[in-house]
């Protein structure tokens, strides 16, 4: 594929993530922080987010599987995930966490289980999409091209 | 400890210390109850030397931010945001480490006032993801210089930095000694600087008469319990509009019970 085509694909793909609400403007903020001195900033932060989130989701699964669910343990985890997803612009994950927290507050175990599934679903989705995005970027760079700056006019 | 919900950290922080160079800002994320942060609470004035800041006097515009946040992702982001706005950054993950960095000996409950040194106040800025107006107001009333709503954006940090740089210039030469027997900590509301309307944290704000900055004595207590959170979580839809004012309005989402 030609470089120009790859760049166009990347832009279209990125745009679709915003239009679908998978990402929000905070992701653009992160991109603004990337430059020649920090060319991999976004992928670095996102990778950290993935590692952090994998751990949190694991902890959440364990906590919710207990005989007696300790919501004092569950809620901080959800809060943490809400925070980090918000910080990288993973909007749907964040929103799912918001709902999750309200069920925690109600101490609704059933509801929390459902929420966890929803959070996981959104998380794997954004993870998948971002990994694809980074692959596209890598292909462009490997072909000697530049990553086009994100156009904000949509 | 063991609070299910985050709270705006309890902090009672008066750091009067001898800084030769950079202006220090404490950027404090609201975290789950953290013993170290609780220990940042002091009932008396302290004079401390800052560990590791023995470097020769730097540009008066140099700002050094001590960012405290227990989230790794947030630490990385805030660090980058600050560096990109030419701030020197130290990012730590807890109140305890902040204390370490500041060289405050936790066990030394009654530190002596160093009357011969010049003092500067450490502005404290709170960061939180919780958009609760009452809390934000409380933070500001109790002496926080500013409140940043997470996720923090470049514009927020830039504003902060401009504000601080102006402060440094103002406070140069306005060195005060503390009285020998300082009264118990209270707010000093009569300083024009202590509570400007939050939305005017710009060079054009009301402090143009440049009075000396009075000590910022920040005392706060535990703010609301977990159940009090109204609207603390906000559902958003893409894409957000922008620059964050100091005080965010409560946002309501139809979907949220």
pLDDT tens-digit map of B44-77:
223 333 333 444 444 556 788 999 999 999 999 9
Is the minimum CB–CB distance between B251 and chain A shorter than 8 Å?
no
**Contact by Cβ (8 Å): B129, B236:** no
Mean pLDDT of A81-86: 96
Question: For the whole model, what pTM was predicted?
Answer: 0.69
CA distance B159 to B169: 16
For residue B180, count other CB atoms closer than 10 A to its CB. Answer: 7
For residue A9, count other CB atoms closer than 10 A to its CB. Answer: 14
**Confidence check: pLDDT of B43 > 50:** no
The closest alpha carbon to B40, from B162, B132, B143, belongs to B143
Cβ neighbors of A138 (< 8 A, separation 6 or more) are none
- Cβ–Cβ below 8 Å for B227 and A52: no
- Strand, coil or helix: what is A42? helix
Cβ neighbors of B114 (< 8 A, separation 6 or more) are B18, B47
**Contact by Cβ (8 Å): B128, B247:** no
In which order are the strands placed within the sheet that holds B124-128? B87-92, B63-68, B23-29, B124-128, B146-149
Cβ neighbors of B38 (< 8 A, separation 6 or more) are B10, B95
Query: What per-residue confidence (pLDDT) applies to B203?
Result: 39
CA distance B93 to B72: 8
For residue B209, count other CB atoms closer than 10 A to its CB. Answer: 6
Mean pLDDT of A2-14: 94
Phi and psi at residue B63, in whole multiples of 5°? -120, 135
**Confidence check: pLDDT of A12 > 70:** yes
- Cβ–Cβ below 8 Å for B73 and A52: yes
pLDDT tens-digit map of B95-138:
888 888 877 655 443 343 233 333 346 788 899 988 889 988 98
Cβ neighbors of B231 (< 8 A, separation 6 or more) are B131, B132, B250, B251, B252, B256
Chain B residue numbers with beta carbons less than 8 Å from the beta carbon of A45 are 73, 76-77
- Cβ–Cβ below 8 Å for A72 and B237: no
How far A97 CA lies from chain B's nearest CA (Å)? 9
- Cβ–Cβ below 8 Å for A88 and B73: yes
Tell which wins on pLDDT, B15 or A145: A145
Report the complex ipTM.
0.93
Rounded to the nearest angstrom, the gap between the alpha carbon of residue A11 and the centroid of all alpha carbons in its chain is: 18
Rounded to the nearest angstrom, the gap between the alpha carbon of residue B165 and the centroid of all alpha carbons in its chain is: 15
**In terms of CA atoms, which chain B residue is nearest residue A46?**
B73
Is the minimum CB–CB distance between B170 and chain A shorter than 8 Å?
no
pLDDT tens-digit map of B151-208:
999 999 998 887 777 655 555 444 333 344 433 333 333 434 433 333 333 333 343 4
CA distance B192 to B1: 36
Mean pLDDT of A87-116: 97
**Contact by Cβ (8 Å): B126, B103:** no
| Least-confidence region, from A7-16, A139-148, B181-190 | B181-190
Q: How confident is the model at residue A32 (pLDDT cuts 50, 70, 90)?
A: very high
CA distance B133 to B230: 10
Least CB–CB distance from B151: residue in A21, A41, A87: A87
Which residue is listed with tokens 């979580």? B233
Cβ neighbors of A94 (< 8 A, separation 6 or more) are A82, A85, A86, B236
Mean pLDDT of A82-98: 97
**In terms of CA atoms, which chain A residue is nearest residue B85?**
A33
- Cβ–Cβ below 8 Å for A21 and B237: yes
Best to test chain B binding among A86, A88, A104 (most B CBs inside 10 Å): A86
For residue B256, count other CB atoms closer than 10 A to its CB. Answer: 14
**Confidence check: pLDDT of B29 > 50:** yes
CA dihedral A139, A144, A148, A149 (to 10 degrees): 110
Query: What per-residue confidence (pLDDT) applies to A10?
Result: 95
């Amino acid at each position: 594929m030609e470089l120009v085509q790859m760049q166009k694909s990347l832009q279209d793909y990125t745009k679709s993530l915003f239009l679908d609400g998978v990402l929000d403007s905070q992701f653009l903020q992160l991109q603004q922080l990337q430059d020649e001195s920090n060319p991999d900033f976004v992928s670095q932060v996102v990778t950290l987010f993935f590692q952090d989130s994998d751990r949190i989701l694991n902890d959440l699964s364990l906590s919710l599987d207990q005989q007696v669910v300790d919501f004092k343990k569950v809620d901080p985890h959800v809060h943490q995930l809400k925070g980090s997803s918000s910080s990288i612009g993973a909007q749907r994950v964040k929103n799912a966490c918001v709902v999750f927290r309200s069920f925690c507050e109600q101490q609704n175990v059933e509801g929390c289980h459902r929420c966890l599934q929803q959070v996981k679903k959104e998380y794997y989705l954004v993870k998948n999409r971002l990994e694809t995005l980074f692959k596209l970027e890598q292909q462009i760079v490997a072909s000697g091209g530049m990553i086009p700056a994100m156009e904000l006019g949509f | 400890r063991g609070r299910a919900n985050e709270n705006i950290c309890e902090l009672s922080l008066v750091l009067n210390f001898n800084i030769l160079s950079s202006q220090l800002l404490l950027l404090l994320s609201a975290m789950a109850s953290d013993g170290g942060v609780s220990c940042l609470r002091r009932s008396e004035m302290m004079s401390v030397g800052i560990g590791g800041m023995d470097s020769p006097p730097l540009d008066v515009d140099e700002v050094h931010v001590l960012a405290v946040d227990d989230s790794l992702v947030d630490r990385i982001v805030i660090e980058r945001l600050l560096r990109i706005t030419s701030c020197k950054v130290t990012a730590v993950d807890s109140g305890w480490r902040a204390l370490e960095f500041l060289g405050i000996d936790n066990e030394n409950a009654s530190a002596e006032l160093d009357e011969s040194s010049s003092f500067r106040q450490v502005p404290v800025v709170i960061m939180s993801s919780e958009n609760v107006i009452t809390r934000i107001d409380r933070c500001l009333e109790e002496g926080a210089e500013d409140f940043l709503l997470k996720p923090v954006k470049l514009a927020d940090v830039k504003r902060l930095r401009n504000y601080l740089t102006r402060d440094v210039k103002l406070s140069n030469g306005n060195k005060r000694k503390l009285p020998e027997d300082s009264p118990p900590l209270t707010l000093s509301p009569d300083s024009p600087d202590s509570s400007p309307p939050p939305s005017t944290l710009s060079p054009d704000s009301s402090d143009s008469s440049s009075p000396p900055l009075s000590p910022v004595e920040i005392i706060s207590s535990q703010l609301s319990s977990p159940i009090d959170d109204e609207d603390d979580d906000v559902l958003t839809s893409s894409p957000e509009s922008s620059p964050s004012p100091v005080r965010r309005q409560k946002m309501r989402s139809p979907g949220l019970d």
